[in-house]
Structure 1
Amino acid sequence: MSIEVNGVAISDQAINVESAYHKLADTDPREAQEQAALALTIRELLRQRATEVGLEVPEDETGLDAVIDQLLEQEVEIPEADEATCRRWYEQNPERFRTPDLAEVRHILIAGHPEDLEERNQARTLAEQLIEQLQADPSAFADLARAHSRCPSADSGGLLGQVSQGETVPEFEDAVLRLPVGLSPQPIKTRYGFHVVEVLQHVPGTALPFEAVQAPIAEYLEAVSRQRAMSQYIRLLAGEADIKGIKLDASDSPLIQ
């Protein structure tokens, strides 16, 4: 891979060394090499720009990061997220700023391994039978949970307490948060088996006040603005430079994340 930035070569050795910082457990080595080459190209572009505007650039890599930071602070304007901007984002994205919906639930887990079809069918059949019993005698739920459930909640009559998004497996949460209050007429299937479920109550989420989320909104919007401004700045420099051996896409560079 032969790369030049305004006549300055970036060696294969430098790319190989840099690629070590871009390798993750599931990263293709070629992808790590490409990311390393991109990062070094942008770094060289910024180093040359720093020299051009009169900043004191070290001959080696020591201190170059500080010079690049100084250059970017000097040449890239990051708009601040004022209160009006933050409030507009808050009003346009209400779903982001509310407490989660809750469902108070009790259940009976009839275990069935997902790869054992016979066990799964038996679990479904038993769950359906328990639902029929509970439809006839709702007061039997706790006793049936203690007798049949393979969840630790069996000791408390199947009571799980309040469930919200992200607290259990998604297929269970998605079902119980949609179900009406009362006994579900059908068992809920999850990776663990089949659940006999009774929703005791729903507690809908409530909107968080703007004042409580203004600071993180501002931080998020300024981070987005910073990324956009950096990408535009680097593209501008790249457009004025003679770059060979690589196509520069600033938005993908780890240097400006």
Structure 2
Amino acid sequence: MSTIEQNARAGEGGALRVNGVAIEAAAIHDEIAHQSDAPDPQAAAKHALVIRELLRQRAIELKHIADGAAFDDTSLDRLLDRLLDSELNVPTATRADCERYFESHPERFRRNDIVFASHILFAVTGRAPLALIRHKAETTLQQVLSAPDTFGDMARELSNCPSAKVAGSLGQLLRGDSVPEFERALFDSQNIGVLPGLVNTRFGFHIVRVERRVEGERVPFESVEADIARFLGECVRHKAIQQYVSVLAARARIEGAVLGEANGPLVQ
């Protein structure tokens, strides 16, 4: 059991407190609506609120904000920047870092790549619980992986997309033709056939089959250097936030939630 888990005095079921400061049930209820795509929305809501309270208390301790000051998602982002600047030395990506990333991920730096793909969409609606939709999608994925030839029939029968009429076919897709989550699944690997995991987007859960890939041309490093530096900077910041929250949680008294390794929704 980790230090953070040992600090969780009351498990998931009791009142939620951070260093004796109570987090109201109404706040948890409101936050659950923002965590609806998590496997356990209530636990995810508690994690997010505990992390916010840890940051709020540390900011008060360092006199970045006054006790009782308004605190929302916008101010949280600004506060994170101030806390990281004052307490951590977050390195920036060098040109050499960017060049290494460019050479290590050639598939990400081409233009005019084409992917021919199909999908089975399990749409998220208000009519069915999210857990049931996910379970149906996962069950269907295992069936299709075991018998790939059934993909078309499954798409016609189960998909909540108009493409169901053509066995789930989406035709040819270029970068920018789909939402970012779907695009990453299509273009950030060279997999052919049914992808091994569900693709989760704002529309629901997708089972995706890649029929064919047509490679485009590679872009010059100079045209993407700034984008790579920005991406690497975000990755470093993300890791720094995880470590920072872990340190705060390890020395806090947390009741009513188990943060694990502080990989809660706020720091994903």
| Aligned 8 A contact 1:35 1:253 in 2 | yes
Task: Provide the rounded CA distance (Å) in 1 between the counterparts of 2:114 and 2:30.
Answer: 50
Is 1:242 the counterpart of 2:253 in the alignment? yes
Give secondary structure in 1 for the equivalent of 2:111.
coil
| Aligned 8 A contact 2:32 2:41 in 1 | yes
1:3 corresponding residue in structure 2: 16
Query: Per-residue displacement from partner, 1:199-229 (whole Å, max 9, x unpaired)?
Result: xxx9853322111111111111111111101
Larger RCO: Structure 1 or Structure 2 (Cα < 8 Å, ≥ 6 residues apart)?
A: 2
Task: Provide the rounded CA distance (Å) in 2 between the counterparts of 1:20 and 1:203.
Answer: 41
Is 1:205 the counterpart of 2:216 in the alignment? yes
1:84 corresponding residue in structure 2: 96
Is 1:98 the counterpart of 2:110 in the alignment? yes
Task: Provide the rounded CA distance (Å) in 1 between the counterparts of 2:107 and 2:231.
Answer: 16
Aligned length: 169
- TM-superposed deviation, 1:42: 0.5
Task: Provide the rounded CA distance (Å) in 2 between the counterparts of 1:101 and 1:255.
Answer: 33
| Larger Rg computed on CA atoms | 1
TM (norm. structure 1) is 0.55
Runs of at least 5 residues in structure 2 that lack an aligned partner in the other structure: 1-12, 116-151, 154-165, 167-171, 178-185, 187-191, 194-208
* Match among 208, 213, 229 for residue 218 of structure 1: 229
2:47 corresponding residue in structure 1: 38
* Match among 42, 49, 58 for residue 58 of structure 2: 49
| Aligned 8 A contact 1:50 1:68 in 2 | no
| Aligned 8 A contact 1:81 1:222 in 2 | yes
Give secondary structure in 1 for the equivalent of 2:22.
strand
Is 1:255 the counterpart of 2:261 in the alignment? no
| Aligned 8 A contact 2:16 2:24 in 1 | yes
| Aligned 8 A contact 1:90 1:97 in 2 | yes
Task: Provide the rounded CA distance (Å) in 1 between the counterparts of 2:266 and 2:215.
Answer: 42
Give secondary structure in 1 for the equivalent of 2:92.
coil
How does 1:74-223 map onto structure 2 within 5 Å?
74-100=86-112, 115=153, 205-223=216-234
TM (norm. structure 2) is 0.53
Identity %: 38
Task: Provide the rounded CA distance (Å) in 1 between the counterparts of 2:92 and 2:45.
Answer: 31
Task: Provide the rounded CA distance (Å) in 2 between the counterparts of 1:86 and 1:218.
Answer: 6
Runs of at least 5 residues in structure 1 that lack an aligned partner in the other structure: 104-113, 116-150, 152-162, 176-190, 192-201
- TM-superposed deviation, 1:89: 1.0
Query: Per-residue displacement from partner, 1:112-163 (whole Å, max 9, x unpaired)?
Result: xx55xxxxxxxxxxxxxxxxxxxxxxxxxxxxxxxxxxx9xxxxxxxxxxx6
2:35 corresponding residue in structure 1: 22
2:241 corresponding residue in structure 1: 230
Q: 1:100 to 1:242 in 2, by over 3 A?
A: same
